[in-house]
């Protein structure tokens, strides 16, 4: 009886907060319809020209590496370093590797697939989530380094800073974890054709979900801007004395959404440590994308956000150290040269076509499952 009472009280509280959030969101949409419309339109363009063309191949590759025989084969070479450094089975080698090269969601998607297949425990998936959320090589070097800063060398320095700090964070989070068995769980891999089809389906679902998160978060950010809350938060952050007003705006943008934060930092010509921190932290929009892969998040939220913060601070420290060792790659005050061009970006028509093919593929797969021809 007491348990039922506690459950109903908890349900009542969650219902109150949900209803309050719903009413506030509805009021904000009615108060700032044009601001939200413009921001959503811009974010859709970003999804079509940047996010979809760049991340879809990596998402498909990460899924294929887990589902195909490649996971077991490559796991033999990655088994010992993954086992001894991160206290994870060898089957995690490829997803961990892809998390540092393929972009923020690639590692989380690999962890969720391994958990679904029963190849890792919930605790191991949670630990992977603590350090396998990293910007990809293409995003940092091409989009930030070449597209925004006009310096691939600067992008390489930032990528090295984020990667080194991420690897160190993985070692720290595995400090008290058991070593585990030497061999990964044995599972008969799926046929190559089936693995490829499943990988395309996974990548399609993931890409559509990520684009939806970006669009939703852009609308939320536009409400903050339209209501003046963004300016208030920036001013309060500047009053701490840690940052200038321009730097405060860039830090807040990084905390909300990493792409917008990189653009703001470039516009205000911020120091390289701001990029290093923001790229490692990832932004709340990326965090929502990561959470979308799991029916239930396999780690405590406070631990996840603490590791994101620690990763950002460690990345900033690594950048300062590497910047001393390689001064020619400094990114202290590089002027912005664009808002996202370069080899990282695609065309509007190409991105739209890819998204439409993702939706069509998902529909065909669902029909095939139901026996419709």
* pLDDT tens digit sequence for 205-232: 777 877 887 788 888 888 888 888 888 9
Joined together, the tokens standing for residue 347 give: 């065309």
pLDDT digits (tens, 9 = 90+) for 133-167: 998 777 788 778 887 888 888 889 999 999 999 99
- Angle CA(126)–CA(313)–CA(81) in degrees, nearest 5? 50
Mean pLDDT score across all residues of the chain: 79
Question: What is the rounded radius of gyration, in angstroms, for the C-alpha atoms of the chain?
Answer: 21
Residue 12 lies in a domain: no
pLDDT at residue 264 tops 70:
yes
Q: Which 8-state DSSP code applies to residue 189?
A: P
Domain residues for the domain of 128 are 46-370
| Res 190: pLDDT | 64
Contact 131, 314 (CB under 8 A): no
33 phi/psi in degrees, rounded to 5 = -65, -40
Residue 5 lies in a domain: no
| Res 348: pLDDT | 57
Residue 11 lies in a domain: no
| Res 340: pLDDT | 40
Verdict on whether the full-model pTM lies above 0.85: no
Q: How far apart are CA 179 and CA 126, in angstroms?
A: 16
Residue 231 lies in a domain: yes
Contact 286, 347 (CB under 8 A): no
Residue 135 lies in a domain: yes
H-helix segments, the chain = 2-31, 33-46, 52-67, 70-86, 93-101, 104-116, 122-131, 137, 152-173, 192-227, 229-239, 245-256, 258-267, 272-281, 284-291, 301-325, 348-370
Q: How far apart are CA 123 and CA 120, in angstroms?
A: 8
- Calculate mean pLDDT across residues 84-110: 84
Residue 123 lies in a domain: yes
Please count the structural domains in the chain.
Answer: 1
Residue 364 lies in a domain: yes
| Res 163: pLDDT | 95
Residue 203 lies in a domain: yes
Q: How far apart are CA 362 and CA 31, in angstroms?
A: 36
């Amino acid at each position: 009886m007491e348990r039922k009472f506690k459950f109903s009280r908890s349900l009542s509280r969650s219902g109150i907060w949900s209803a309050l959030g719903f009413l506030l969101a509805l009021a904000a949409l009615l108060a700032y319809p044009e601001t939200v419309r413009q921001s959503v339109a811009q974010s859709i363009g970003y999804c079509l020209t940047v996010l979809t063309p760049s991340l879809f191949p990596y998402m498909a590759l990460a899924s294929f590496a887990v589902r195909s025989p490649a996971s077991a084969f490559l796991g033999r070479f990655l088994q010992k370093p993954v086992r001894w450094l991160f206290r994870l089975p060898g089957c995690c080698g490829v997803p961990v590797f892809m998390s540092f090269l393929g972009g923020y969601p690639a590692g989380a998607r690999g962890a969720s697939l391994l958990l679904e297949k029963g190849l890792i425990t919930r605790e191991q998936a949670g630990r992977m989530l603590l350090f396998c959320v990293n910007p990809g090589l293409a995003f940092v070097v091409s989009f930030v380094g070449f597209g925004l800063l006009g310096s691939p060398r600067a992008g390489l320095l930032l990528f090295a800073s984020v990667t080194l700090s991420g690897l160190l964070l993985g070692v720290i989070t595995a400090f008290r974890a058991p070593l585990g068995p030497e061999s990964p769980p044995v599972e008969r891999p799926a046929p190559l054709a089936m693995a490829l089809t499943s990988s395309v389906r996974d990548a399609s679902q993931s890409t559509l979900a990520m684009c939806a998160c970006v669009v939703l978060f852009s609308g939320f950010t536009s409400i903050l801007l339209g209501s003046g809350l963004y300016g208030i938060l920036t001013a309060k952050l500047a009053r701490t004395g840690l940052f200038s007003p321009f730097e405060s705006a860039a830090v807040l943008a990084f905390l909300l959404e990493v792409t917008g934060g990189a653009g703001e930092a470039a516009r205000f010509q911020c120091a390289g440590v701001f990029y290093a921190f923001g790229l490692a932290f990832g932004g709340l929009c990326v965090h929502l994308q990561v959470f979308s892969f799991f029916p239930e998040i396999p780690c405590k939220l406070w631990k996840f956000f603490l590791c994101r913060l620690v990763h950002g601070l460690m990345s900033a420290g690594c950048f300062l150290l590497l910047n001393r060792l390689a001064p020619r790659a400094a990114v202290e005050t590089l002027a912005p040269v664009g808002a996202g061009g370069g080899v990282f970006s695609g065309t509007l028509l190409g991105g739209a076509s890819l998204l439409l093919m993702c939706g069509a593929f998902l529909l065909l797969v669902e029909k095939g499952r139901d026996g419709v021809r």
